[in-house]
A = this chain, B = another copy of it.
Amino acid sequence: MAGRDDGASTRIGSGAEPVAVICGGGRLPGEVIAAARDAGRRVVVIAIKGEADPSIDAFAPTWLGFGQIGKLSDLLMRENCRDLVMIGGITKRPEMREIIGDLGTMRRLPRIIAALAGGDDSLLTKVIRLFEDDGFRVIGAHRIAPSLLALPGALVGAAPRGDVAADLALAAQAVAELGRLDIGQAAVSVGRRVIAVEGAEGTDAMLARCAELRRIRRVRGTGGVLVKCAKPGQDLRVDLPTIGPDTVAGCVEAGLSGIGIQAGRVLIAERARTEAAAREHGLFLFGLDRATATENAS
């Protein structure tokens, strides 16, 4: 799709041009900033008031509220930032009195209201358009922090074989179909049967459901795998599929034997902790290449 970050391997160089990272909640923004700086990129950090984690202070951020878009714009101009990354969760829908902020915000207000009036899915896409109208370029976090992306092949444990590989292929096929319909990013297969597919509830809730299905013995047999992939055409600038320590914990609760993630399109948050947790509980972690993840989907 035009204007979309297609996740292709072309990367924004680690040149002199700085990148602004607008941080929502969680640990991920800090990791992205650290990875980008490790890769030699200069990063201007903006923390969203009431959303960003206090630990972000370690990166000397400028804290801004939802109503300070004018101030944000000025800051980005001054810092010569053309590239912009938005990362981390936004849990609150800003209230109108928070939005009606500075003059720069006021000027954009009609477009902001129009954006907020739309459905959830398109909200961030509309926010991106607001920035792009002002001459900025919004890019995916994976473009400045590629070291956080899953690589193809065995990441933790041995490469799956036999029944496990069959579950992996089955779940990947389900995810590919779901993705094609723009429904979800994840599925769980146990004993060569897909038992759960992700909708709006998200991966953690789906894993909790699998644990419950096991508990009430609605699902029998041992093992099984979680597969998580980006949707085809998914806008990785606003919604980068991610796994982390919670995902591993959820898989352990559900009695699964491992996780398959799409290489190059799924981000591993708190990578060291995530991999250590997988190792501790004997879960494998495997990077599916694009062909594996979609080969059965056509």
Partner of A177, one of B121, B181, B201, B220: B181
Binds B, one of A56-64, A187-195, A233-241: A187-195
Asked whether A194 lies within 8 Å of B181 as measured between CB atoms, the reply is: yes
Judge if A65 is at the interface, Cβ distance under 8 Å: no
- What is the oligomeric copy number? 2
> In the assembled complex, which residues on chain B have CB atoms less than 8 Å from the CB atom of A201?
196, 209, 212-213, 218
Interface residues of A in 159-197 (CB under 8 A from B): 173-174, 177-178, 180-184, 188, 191, 193-197
Judge if A245 is at the interface, Cβ distance under 8 Å: no
Residue interface mask A199-230, B partner, CB < 8 A = 1? 11110010001001100001111000000000
Asked whether B197 lies within 8 Å of A197 as measured between CB atoms, the reply is: yes
Judge if A3 is at the interface, Cβ distance under 8 Å: no
Judge if A120 is at the interface, Cβ distance under 8 Å: yes
Q: How far is the CB of A220 from chain B (nearest CB, A)?
A: 6
- Cα distance A197–B182 in the bound complex, in angstroms: 12
Judge if A119 is at the interface, Cβ distance under 8 Å: yes
Interface residues of A in 92-117 (CB under 8 A from B): none
Partner of A194, one of B120, B183, B196: B183
- Cα distance A178–B213 in the bound complex, in angstroms: 19
Residue interface mask A128-139, B partner, CB < 8 A = 1? 000000000000
